[in-house]
Structures are given as structure tokens and as C-alpha cells.
């Protein structure tokens, strides 16, 4: 039973990682590209790390906590680096598919 | 069962690394390349953890943790350089 759950988690993690990088390669401007990997990749790596924690807990007969450390660190740092990247892109005024904040042509209401 | 899942996951994450490399080499602007490097280290963590499960070895988590730490520092330093033109002011 646990084996099926682990296999499912591993495949789900692989699929999420793949979709995140596919978004990075395929989407059309930087701001949409930022959306793909920062969400899907952390979710994918989260699934794989949970599977790994469960696998080694079963293998050793005691809870394995290394993975929780990696997961925690990734979940804390991913939003920070995404925020910094968005700030850098706005600073460099990269082209965007939609108008960026503060450069709308039509006045709002 | 887990072996088959591991092969599938290795293939998918390997393809993900290939897409990331494509964006790293192609990326029209500097933030695109930084984002590609950021995604690349996260994908590498996934590959290392999968390798750890495959070999049944516990050693690879320390490497994964180190990559996570250094990758984050690198991303922050590169973004800081783009924002301010300097890393340590």
C-alpha cells in the first residue's frame, strides 16, 4: 500500500517538475515565465521530498528528517527569489504582454 | 513498482533540465537566464533526491541541502546586481 503511494508521489513530483520547466521554455514573456517554475517546481520537488522522507523512514525504521529541512528551506526561499526576480525585471522594464502597473493608457474609471 | 516510478520520474526531470538549459542559452534578457539558473538548481535537487532513493543512500541529502543554500544565495546576488549595479554596497 505504502509502495503505491510512494510511486504515485514520485511520478507526481516528476510530472510537476516537467510542467514547470515546460512553462519556463514555452511561455511568451518574462512575467508569465516567472509563474511556471516558481509554483510547479517547488510543488514537484515537495512531492519528491515527501516520497523520499517516507521511503527512508520505512527503510530505517525511524523518522528521517533531512528532507523536511530541504523542503522547509525551499518553501521559504522560493517566494523570496521570485519576488527579487520580478523586481529586477520591472527595474529593467522588460516587455510585457499586458501593460505593467503605472503605464496604463486608459484611465481607470 | 517504485523502480518503474523512478525511471519515469528520472526521464521527466531530465527533460525538465533540458528545457531549462534551452531557456538558459536562449533567454532574451538577463532575468530570464537568472530564472533558468534558479529552476536548474531546483531540478538538480529533485534529481539528487531521486538518485538517493534509487541507490538507497542517505548521503545525497547533504548535497541537496548545500545546493539549495548556495543556489538561493546565487540568485539573490545576481538579482541584487541587476537592481543596484553592485552586490555589496
pLDDT for the residue numbered A103? 67
Within 8 A of B61 by CB-CB distance, chain A residues are: 52, 66-67, 69-70
In the structure, what pLDDT confidence band is assigned to residue A104 with cuts at 50, 70 and 90? low
Within 8 A of B20 by CB-CB distance, chain A residues are: 21, 24-25, 37
Q: Give the Cα separation of A52 and B22 in Å (integer).
A: 29
Residues B23, A7: C-beta atoms closer than 8 Å: no
Residues B20, A77: C-beta atoms closer than 8 Å: no
Mean pLDDT score, A48-59: 89
**Helix (H) or strand (E) segment spanning residue A7:** helix A2-26
Task: List the one residue out of B54, B5, B79, B88 whose CA is nearest residue A77.
Answer: B79
Residues B29, A37: C-beta atoms closer than 8 Å: no
Q: Which three cell numbers stand for residue A101?
A: 502597473
Decide which of 3.30.70, 1.10.1200, 1.10.287, 3.40.50 is the CATH code for B2-84: 1.10.287
Query: How far is the CA of B56 from the CAs of A40, A53, A55, A57, A60, in angstroms?
Result: 26, 12, 9, 12, 10
Residues 57-76 of B with CB under 8 A from A: 58, 61-62, 64-65, 68-69, 72, 75-76
Task: Report yes or no for ipTM above 0.90.
Answer: no
What count of CB pairs under 8 Å joins A to B?
Answer: 160
Cα atoms in the Cβ-side hemisphere of radius 13 Å centred on A24 = 35
The widest CA-to-CA distance across chain B, in whole angstroms, is 54
Is B24 at the interface with chain A, CB within 8 A?
Answer: no
Mean pLDDT score, B20-45: 90
Whole-structure pTM value: 0.87
Locus of grid cell 515565465:
A33
Q: Where are the domains of chain A?
A: 2-91
pLDDT tens-place string over residues B64-86 = 889 999 999 999 999 999 888 87
Within 8 A of A18 by CB-CB distance, chain B residues are: 12-13, 15-16
Residue B31 is nearest to which of A3, A49, A94, comparing CB atoms? A94
Q: Where are the domains of chain B?
A: 2-84
Cα atoms in the Cβ-side hemisphere of radius 13 Å centred on B48 = 19
- Please say whether the beta carbons of A22 and A41 come within 8 A: no
Amino acid at each position: 500500500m505504502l509502495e503505491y503511494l510512494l510511486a504515485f508521489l514520485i511520478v507526481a513530483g516528476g510530472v510537476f517538475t516537467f510542467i514547470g520547466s515546460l512553462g519556463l521554455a514555452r511561455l511568451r514573456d518574462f512575467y508569465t515565465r516567472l509563474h511556471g517554475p516558481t509554483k510547479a517546481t517547488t510543488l514537484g520537488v515537495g512531492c519528491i521530498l515527501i516520497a523520499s522522507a517516507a521511503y527512508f523512514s520505512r527503510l530505517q525504521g525511524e523518522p528521517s528528517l533531512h528532507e523536511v529541512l530541504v523542503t522547509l528551506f525551499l518553501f521559504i526561499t522560493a517566494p523570496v527569489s521570485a519576488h527579487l526576480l520580478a523586481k529586477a525585471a520591472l527595474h529593467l522594464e522588460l516587455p510585457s504582454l499586458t501593460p505593467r502597473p503605472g503605464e496604463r493608457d486608459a484611465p481607470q474609471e | 513498482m517504485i523502480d518503474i516510478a523512478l525511471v519515469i520520474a528520472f526521464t521527466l526531470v531530465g527533460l525538465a533540465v533540458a528545457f531549462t538549459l534551452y531557456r538558459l542559452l536562449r533567454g532574451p534578457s538577463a532575468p530570464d537566464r537568472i530564472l533558468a539558473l534558479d529552476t536548474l538548481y531546483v531540478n538538480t535537487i529533485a534529481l539528487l533526491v531521486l538518485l538517493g532513493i534509487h541507490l538507497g543512500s542517505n548521503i545525497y541529502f547533504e548535497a541537496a541541502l548545500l545546493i539549495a543554500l548556495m543556489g538561493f544565495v546565487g540568485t539573490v546576488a545576481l538579482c541584487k546586481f541587476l537592481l543596484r549595479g553592485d552586490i555589496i554596497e
